[in-house]
Amino acid sequence: MRKLANAELNRLTPEAYKQSPKNNFVLVLDNVRSLNNVGSAFRTGDAFLVEKIYLCGITGTPPHREIHKTALGATDSVEWEYVVKTIDLVHQLKSAGYCIVVLEQTADSVMLQHFAINPQQRYAFVFGNEIEGVSEEVVALADYTVEIPQFGTKHSINISVSIGIVVWDYFCKTLPPPAY
């Protein structure tokens, strides 16, 4: 075995990325404090052709050195928008036909592995503040709350890891089955 050189990976240019068809989901970051987590969201979003990333409330925005450090240029390819109030954005996305999926531990949350994805539906996956989670007013508007199963002593998973898990799960559930 050998590692592939970057030239062998056949990656899109930022311009080609912008012209590519995107997956039917957006990421919403609700008051995320860590600029490294924001940069990581961009990088994951780029890897999986996210439609758009919304940065809300106190969430930092590009250009910023700390975001760039983890995004590695993904802020140039992924479409993004800053919105002051997450609640206003959620109302707007609901009106546009998005299914609002909040990643949060609630009395009614569905475990991620049991959450069914409709490939025709557009989704807004909402991720919250590293300490407080998603705001209560946004949780109240969710179509679904989804929880990533955990088995250790901690009550949460880092937001950048959570984004990766949820996006990969979406991608796996929407890929056509392999032809054997």
Helix boundaries (H) for the chain: 14-19, 35-47, 65-71, 86-95, 136-139, 159-174
**Residue 110, token pair as written in the block:** 């569905």
- CA distances 126 to 14, 64, 85, 90, Å, are 25, 22, 13, 9
A 10 A CB-CB count for 147 gives: 17
| Mean pLDDT within 127-147 | 96
pLDDT number for residue 62:
94
pLDDT number for residue 46:
95
pLDDT per position as a tens digit, 27-53 = 999 999 999 999 999 999 999 999 999
Cα–Cα nearest to 86, from 123, 124, 44, 56: 56
Q: Percent helix, strand, coil in the chain (nearest 5)?
A: 35, 20, 45
Q: Are 46 and 17 in contact (CB under 8 A)?
A: yes
pLDDT number for residue 85:
98
**Residue 22, token pair as written in the block:** 């995107």
Q: Are 138 and 90 in contact (CB under 8 A)?
A: yes
pLDDT per position as a tens digit, 59-115 = 999 988 899 888 988 898 999 999 999 999 999 999 999 999 999 999 999 999 999
Dist. CA 177–CA 142, nearest whole Å: 30
**Residue 178, token pair as written in the block:** 């392999």
The residues, ordered by sequence, that sit 6+ positions from 99 with a Cβ below 8 Å of its Cβ are 121, 122, 123, 124, 143, 144
In the predicted model, is pLDDT for residue 179 greater than 80?
no
Is the pTM higher than 0.75? The answer reads yes
12-148+157-172 has which CATH code? 3.40.1280.10
pLDDT number for residue 25:
97
pLDDT number for residue 5:
87
Dist. CA 128–CA 30, nearest whole Å: 5
